[in-house]
Amino acid sequence: MKTKTPSKQLIQDLLQADKAKSQCLKTLEVAFKSRFVDEKMSKLVRQNKGGTFHMNCLGHELVGSVCALGLTQKKDWGLPYYRDRAFALGLGCDMTELFGSFLGRDIKHHSKGRMMPDHFSDKELKIPVQSSVVGSQFLQAVGLAKGLQLSGKNEAVYVSSGDGATSQGDFHEALNFSCLHKLGVIFVVQDNGWAISVPVEDQTAGGTITKIASGYEGLKVFDVDGGDYEKLSSAVKESVDRARNFEGPSLIVAKVPRIGPHSSSDDPKKYKTKEQIDQEAQLDPLEKFETWILKMGLLQEDELDVLKAQWKDEVEIASKQAEEIPFPSKESVSDHIYKEFELKSNVCPLREKQESIVMIDSINHGLHEEFEKDPAIVVYGQDVADGKGGVFGATRGLTAKYGKQRCFNSPLAESTIIGTAIGMSFDGIHKPVVEVQFSDYLWTGINQLFNELSSIHYRSGGEWNCPVVVRMPTGGYIQGGPYHSQSIEGFLAHCPGLKIVLPSNAEDAKRLLKAAILDPNPVIILEHKGLYRQRAFSARAEPYEDEVDEIGKAKVIKSGKDLTLITWGMTSVMGFEVAEKLEKQDISVEVIDLRSICPIDMETILTSVKKTGKVLIAHEAAKTCGFGAEIAAKISEEVFEYLDAPIQRIGSQDSAVPYSKVLEDAHLLQKQDIENAIVKLDSF
Ligand SMILES: Cc1ncc(C[n+]2csc(CCOP(=O)(O)OP(=O)(O)O)c2C)c(N)n1
């Protein structure tokens, strides 16, 4: 009998069915492996044989697996939170490495023992290093998606959290920005109804984030049972399709039980009733999924048992292998604070001098020149776009010349500015050069700067780096009151991993801006707004387009032999004037303009101190805990024997900066204060 050739449609259907089946089984495998890893890890903690801390993912495995397998490995990006191990495994993270991270071993990914377990990082799999600060990943995901959109890449960005994290302002800032820009982000909230011991009723108005988030226009919201494979899969598919087609962000809120404690340090019996604990255990998504698989006839019970036994064995082997991996060496503890980078200064004193220019214009020209050269540079911040070009005009003309894609206004939200800049820099292409309108308003974005940006290179064991430039007008003397006058460099200097530049003149401002743009590390430029248009000292012949100066090198702006005056920003200007005046009175002051305080050029300082034997450090910031204290300590540690007098520090008063001119003058360091201090020190 002649057999009938199957129709194309039938083959298609069979293949589809085959694909669907294998996707289903793969999901089962990932979810169960995650479960077995948990069981093994908590056993190791109980037996005191492994890591000291464990966060279990029981109940969260199905949602993580479905999401990971709905993405394309090495094409799409993942920013999974700590309870998303199934996602990490599903996207391809190596199980031995996950155990290695749990045991604090020297593994290639997941931070080389620097982060607690399950803080994922794998550059090859496009998983940027995660932190412990709940919710800080959202804006980074959004910034990353913005960069991908600018490149026209249809790669999806997955970011997950628990329900508690949605109380963070960053979550709402991220939804806002991603909707404004129609970004391909998939937000997945794994809603287990608890944040440690706090139930969702005490956490979220209305009892669920879905209602609140539905108000963001352009956000597609899915409310699904995290134990329902079919519903989860279809929500993930639709979300990925939206991201691929540049249709905008999606939010999947998956209801899951948290089966077990928040972490190995937690005892749920202190805040959950026995009935609640039992009820949550009965909602186990893995049991539900197993039942569904059997019902669908995808596996028989005995086949399932064989597979589970095999996966358990693999977990045991991975755990054993991880124990063989050595710990990181003691010597590596200070590796990767900065990404290594060498820049040769290119400053050409012999060329014919260009016209004199004030600092604000030199910054503006520097940005234009770099925009012309490198299309990967993007500028954004409050009011930076269009005709306004920033409240001081540093970015004027950029939007008109290079378009809204490259110079655009951000929402009025500093965490958004810095958080998205971090994310945008992850793609290895973009170079965000963002503006915070006044350094006084950095504080609403400080978590992204302090806890995130500064330490990403270190925390990832050198795997990730953030080439971000943050420009901030800073300082006082313009009657700006307490919120337009702050000098914040001392706070920032206590934050390893940042480079901090403080130019005092147009020449340095332009050359150092160019160096910052080339640097693979985060660089903060504190531009003194009192110097933006100052002519006498700060206006300079404009540097040529190709000129660049190394960050971390101080400049002796006046040589002298009697004492060393160390300055930066406004005090360089004041100090120089005072020193010139005192020269005529036979006091020879050597003035150093540090230009950057991180890294600090101790060599130039120590050479000068060895010559003069006396040091005065003058800064605009309040004296207590000002950066001068750090310099004084360093000098006395290094060259105490060369000192002929105690090191002196002067700064402004220890209070907020008042507005009224009389009060402002009385508060801020004045030229006369510098002069008095020099005369006193000289006579010592
Ligand atoms: C900003 C911040 N505050 C506090 C903590 C301490 N902490 C760690 S996890 C957690 C609960 C998070 O709950 P949720 O977001 O619902 O996720 P779940 O742990 O329930 O999966 C808290 C308060 C933190 N890591 N970050």
Per-residue pLDDT, averaged over 447-476, amounts to 98
Inform me whether the pLDDT recorded for 1 exceeds 60. no
Query: Token pair of 148, please?
Result: 């991908």
Q: Which of 446, 416, 445 is closest to 139 using CA atoms?
A: 416
Q: What would the pLDDT profile of 377-388 be if each residue is shown by its tens digit?
A: 999 999 999 999
Inform me whether the pLDDT recorded for 414 exceeds 60. yes
Inform me whether the pLDDT recorded for 374 exceeds 80. yes
**Nearest residue CA, atom 7 of ligand 1?**
134
Is 234 exposed, middle or buried (CB count within 10 Å of its CB: 0-12, 13-18, 19+)?
A: middle
Whether 76 maps to a domain, the answer reads yes
Whether 336 maps to a domain, the answer reads no
Q: Are residues 286 and 183 in the same domain?
A: yes
Q: What percent of the chain has pLDDT over 70?
A: 99
Q: Which residues of 47-85 are buried (b: 16+ CB within 10 A; e: fewer)?
A: eeebbeebbbbbbbbbbbbbbbbbbeeeebbbbbbbbbb
Integer angstrom CA distances of residue 79 from 23, 137, 189, 260: 22, 7, 12, 24
Q: Are residues 110 and 239 in the same domain?
A: yes
Q: What's the pLDDT at 4?
A: 63
Backbone angles phi, psi at 126, to 5 degrees: 60, 45
Query: Token pair of 164, please?
Result: 């508690």
Would the CB of 83 count as within 6 Å of ligand 1?
A: yes
Would the CB of 307 count as within 6 Å of ligand 1?
A: no
Would the CB of 58 count as within 6 Å of ligand 1?
A: no
Residue that is last in its domain, among 328, 343, 366:
328
Q: Are residues 375 and 321 in the same domain?
A: no
Query: Token pair of 43, please?
Result: 């056993």
Pocket test of ligand 1: the residue of 134, 160, 196, 259 to mutate, having most ligand atoms within 8 Å of its CB, is 134
Would the CB of 196 count as within 6 Å of ligand 1?
A: yes
The answer to whether the CB of 186 falls within 8 A of the CB of 179 is: no
Helices 671-682 and 570-583 sit at what angle, rounded to 10 degrees? 50
Out of 343-352, 427-436, 599-608, least confident range: 343-352
Give the distance from CA 254 to its chain's centroid: 27
Q: What would the pLDDT profile of 620-663 be if each residue is shown by its tens digit?
A: 999 999 999 999 999 999 999 999 999 999 999 999 999 999 99
Q: How much is the mean pLDDT over the chain? A: 96
Q: Which of 167, 194, 189, 284 is closest to 239 using CA atoms?
A: 189
Inform me whether the pLDDT recorded for 2 exceeds 60. no
Per-residue pLDDT, averaged over 115-120, amounts to 94
Task: Report the distance separating Cα 24 and Cα 433, nearest Å.
Answer: 44
Q: Are residues 42 and 121 in the same domain?
A: yes
Atom of ligand 1 nearest to the CA of 447: 1
Atom of ligand 1 nearest to the CA of 163: 16
Q: What's the pLDDT at 13?
A: 74
Q: What's the pLDDT at 596?
A: 98
Q: What's the pLDDT at 16?
A: 77
SS3 label, residue 13: helix
Q: What's the pLDDT at 281?
A: 95
Does residue 667 carry a catalytic annotation? no
Q: Are residues 161 and 188 in the same domain?
A: yes
Q: Are residues 119 and 241 in the same domain?
A: yes
**Nearest residue CA, atom 12 of ligand 1?**
195
The answer to whether the CB of 144 falls within 8 A of the CB of 109 is: no
Q: Which of 70, 112, 100 is closest to 87 using CA atoms?
A: 70
Would the CB of 256 count as within 6 Å of ligand 1?
A: no
Whether 143 maps to a domain, the answer reads yes
Domain holding 559, by residue range, is 555-682
The answer to whether the CB of 396 falls within 8 A of the CB of 407 is: no
Q: Are residues 402 and 482 in the same domain?
A: yes
Q: Which band of pLDDT confidence, cut at 50, 70 and 90, is reported for residue 7?
A: confident
Q: What would the pLDDT profile of 647-658 be if each residue is shown by its tens digit?
A: 999 999 999 999
CA of 35 to the centre of ligand 1 (A): 21
Whether 8 maps to a domain, the answer reads no
Residue that is last in its domain, among 492, 510, 541:
541
Q: Which amino acid is at 364?
A: N
Residue that is last in its domain, among 541, 575, 596:
541
Query: Token pair of 429, please?
Result: 């292409």
Q: Which band of pLDDT confidence, cut at 50, 70 and 90, is reported for residue 3?
A: low
CA of 164 to the centre of ligand 1 (A): 6
Q: Which band of pLDDT confidence, cut at 50, 70 and 90, is reported for residue 186?
A: very high
Whether 533 maps to a domain, the answer reads yes
Number of structural domains the chain divides into = 3
Whether 201 maps to a domain, the answer reads yes
Integer angstrom CA distances of residue 114 from 62, 413, 461, 521: 28, 30, 7, 19
Query: Token pair of 629, please?
Result: 């204290």
Q: What percent of the chain has pLDDT over 90?
A: 95
Q: Which band of pLDDT confidence, cut at 50, 70 and 90, is reported for residue 76?
A: very high
Q: Which of 206, 191, 196, 195 is closest to 63 using CA atoms?
A: 191
Per-residue pLDDT, averaged over 293-310, amounts to 95
User: CB neighbours (10 Å) of residue 493?
Assistant: 17
Q: Which band of pLDDT confidence, cut at 50, 70 and 90, is reported for residue 6?
A: low
Inform me whether the pLDDT recorded for 494 exceeds 90. yes
Residues in the chain: 684
Q: What would the pLDDT profile of 539-569 be if each residue is shown by its tens digit?
A: 999 999 999 999 999 999 999 999 999 999 9
Per-residue pLDDT, averaged over 299-318, amounts to 96
DSSP 489-556: HHHHHTSTT-EEE---SHHHHHHHHHHHHH-SS-EEEEEETTTTT--TTT-EEPPPTT-B--TT--EE
Per-residue pLDDT, averaged over 107-112, amounts to 95
| H helix count then E strand count, the chain | 23, 21
Per-residue pLDDT, averaged over 194-200, amounts to 97
Q: Which residues of 158-171 are buried (b: 16+ CB within 10 A; e: fewer)?
A: bbbbbbbbbbbebb
CATH number for the domain harbouring residue 654: 3.40.50.920
Q: Are residues 561 and 597 in the same domain?
A: yes
Whether 601 maps to a domain, the answer reads yes
**Nearest 5°: CA angle at 76, between 73 and 77?**
110
Task: Report the distance separating Cα 578 and Cα 564, nearest Å.
Answer: 13
Q: What is the dihedral of CA 90, 54, 496, 160, to 10 degrees?
A: 40
Would the CB of 585 count as within 6 Å of ligand 1?
A: no
CATH number for the domain harbouring residue 211: 3.40.50.970
Whether 4 maps to a domain, the answer reads no
Inform me whether the pLDDT recorded for 132 exceeds 60. yes
Task: Report the distance separating Cα 98 and Cα 92, nearest Å.
Answer: 11
Q: Are residues 470 and 605 in the same domain?
A: no
Inform me whether the pLDDT recorded for 8 exceeds 90. no
Of 119, 172, 457, 484, which is the active-site residue?
A: 484
The shares of helix, strand and coil residues in the chain, as percent rounded to the nearest 5, are 45, 15, 40
Place of tokens 């248009």: 533
Q: Are residues 475 and 566 in the same domain?
A: no
Per-residue pLDDT, averaged over 494-516, amounts to 98
Inform me whether the pLDDT recorded for 236 exceeds 80. yes
Sequence-distant (≥ 6) Cβ neighbours of residue 637 within 8 angstroms: none
Do you find a cis peptide bond into 257, omega within 30 degrees of 0? no
Q: What's the pLDDT at 48?
A: 85
Which one-letter DSSP state was computed for residue 448?
Answer: I
Task: Report the distance separating Cα 433 and Cα 445, nearest Å.
Answer: 15
Q: Are residues 586 and 443 in the same domain?
A: no
Q: Are residues 518 and 600 in the same domain?
A: no
